[in-house]
Amino acid sequence: MSGRHFVLPFYHIVFPSTRPHIRYLYRYFTPEEFNKQIDYFLKHWQPISYEELIKLHQNGNLNKSKVFHLTFDDGLYECYDVIAPILYKKGVPATFFVHSQALENPAFCFYRFKISLLIWHARKNGLSQKVKILLKKRYDIQLQSIKHLLKTVDHKNIHVIDFLWKETSFDYDKYLSDRPIYMSMNEINKLMENGFQIGSHSLNHIRFNTLSFEDQWREFEEDKLKIETLLGLKNIPFAFPFGDQGVKISFFNKVKKHYPETLLFGSGLFSSDHADNIVHRVPMENFHMQPEKSIPALYFHHSVKKLLGRETIYRK
Ligand SMILES: [Zn+2]
């Protein structure tokens, strides 16, 4: 095969029906599909815990081990009530990357979720035209389609969505009372009691390559230390929000210097990395197909890259 035998699949959510805060962002799998996927991984790889993963990484044996470790980003409620029970039953370990803000504030909402919720609310209630008029009037933003809000708004101008929520009477408290978005402290503690690993995922979930070095460090360190304090943990791993693309070697070196036991998680599929404190994962939801199709195709792609000498991510 391609020389690399381990696989680190990653997901966000598993749910049988629509979750409006995610609906316009990405597709995800149902519990039935997810169950089958775990069986596929179990058939071809040996499941390992985070402790085993970091040990293999540190002693240089990870590449030759035919193992898998599952990870889940964003700390969504479904990790607790859908995913963890499936994994627990099958005896499959996993790491869940959470946000400190969601632990501290039950009303926290990631800015992309806010946009998805607004689109859902506007469409469901016939308010799309009203949203367009409001945007033009208040912010001079011309919107072709309501879905274009995802391209027009980001963390820097998310107040636009707060304004639209208010003007269209979107009841966020009611939405949360039907079903939470994030896991609470209590639920995360239960995952830990069942042997699952917790990691951090940055303060505000902003693409790292758009931030200054100082802001990258603050997003990483503050979130990590808060979660460690809140949950009584040490040396938790970290997953880059939106992936690790374009993050410079100086960041990895600083992590290594201050937190030598912290392993970073990227999303470079089967790539190796110039930085030695990061491992790369396969974002399963990006390839919305069953892994018996996507994984061999990605492995093949990786083998070709290796032949061309391009399997390692180099960092400036
Ligand atoms: Zn994320």
Encoding tokens for residue 166? 């208010």
CB-proximal residues (5 Å) to ion ligand 1: 73-74, 241
Is residue 220 pLDDT above 70, yes or no? yes
**Cα distance between residue 253 and residue 217, in whole Å:** 12
In a domain, 171, yes or no: yes
Amino acid 300: pLDDT: 80
Number of domains in the chain: 2
Q: Which pLDDT belongs to residue 273? A: 82
User: Is 281 found in the same domain as 161?
Assistant: no
Q: How far is CA 93 from the centre of its chain?
A: 17
Report pLDDT for 3. 62
Cα 133 to ligand 1 centre (Å): 32
The whole-number average pLDDT for the span 196-212 is 96
Find the mean pLDDT for residues 191-217.
Answer: 96
**What integer pLDDT is reported at residue 2 of this predicted model?**
47
What is the sign of the dihedral through the CA atoms of 99, 102, 104 and 105? positive
Domain-terminating residue out of 134, 156, 177: 177
Whether residue 243 lies inside any domain: the answer is: yes
Q: What percent of the chain has pLDDT over 90?
A: 81
Residues 266, 118 within the same domain: no
Give the chain's end-to-end CA distance (angstroms, integer). Answer: 29
Q: Are residues 153 and 290 in the same domain?
A: no
The answer on 146 and 37 residing in a single domain is no
CA 269 – ligand 1 centroid, Å: 16
pLDDT class of 51 with cuts at 50, 70, 90: very high
Q: Which two tokens stand for residue 194?
A: 């069942």
CA of 155 to the centre of ligand 1 (A): 14
Cα 214 to ligand 1 centre (Å): 20
Indicate if 194 and 292 belong to the same structural domain.
yes
**Co-location of 62 and 96 in the same domain:** yes
Check if the beta carbon of residue 148 is closer than 8 Å to that of residue 35: no
Q: What residue type is assigned to position 113 of the chain?
A: F
- Give per-residue pLDDT as tens, 22-48: 999 999 999 999 999 999 999 999 999
**Based on the domain organization, do 206 and 248 belong to the same domain?**
yes
Q: Among 226, 211, 276, which Cα is nearest to 249's?
A: 276
Q: Work out the pLDDT band at 269, boundaries 50, 70, 90.
A: confident
Give the number of other CB atoms < 10 A from CB of residue 303.
16
Q: What CATH number should be reported for the domain holding residue 29?
A: 3.20.20.370
Instruction: Please determine, for residue 188, whether its predicted confidence score (pLDDT) is greater than 70.
Output: yes
At 298, which amino acid appears? L
Query: What is the pLDDT at residue 315?
Result: 82
Residue 4 lies in a domain: no
Last residue of a domain, one of 126, 142, 177: 177
| Same-domain status, 172 and 204 | no
In a domain, 2, yes or no: no
Distance CA 165, CA 249 (A): 40
DSSP of 112-171: HHHHHHHHHHHHHTT-HHHHHHHHHHHH----SSGGGHHHH--GGGTHHHHHHHHHTT--
Tens of pLDDT along 87-146? Answer: 999 999 999 999 999 999 989 999 999 999 999 999 999 999 999 999 999 999 898 899
Ligand 1 centre to CA of 267 (Å) is: 11
Residue 223 has pLDDT above 50, yes or no: yes
Structure tokens at 233: 């943990």
Q: Tell whether 294 and 217 lie within a shared domain.
A: yes
pLDDT band at residue 81 under the 50/70/90 scheme: very high
298 alpha-carbon distance from chain centroid = 20
Q: Which tens digit of pLDDT belongs to each residue from 249-262?
A: 999 999 999 999 99
Considering 119, 154, 177, which residue would you say is the last residue of a domain?
177
Q: Residues 198, 255: one domain?
A: yes
For residue 123, what are the domain limits? 111-177
Bridge-partner residues for 278, per DSSP?
264
Question: Measured in angstroms, how far is the CA atom of residue 292 from the centroid of ligand 1?
Answer: 25
Spatial separation of the C-alpha atoms in residues 25 and 139, rounded to whole Å: 24
Q: How far apart (Å, rounded) are the C-alpha atoms in residues 81 and 126?
A: 32
- CB neighbourhood size of 39 (10 A): 10
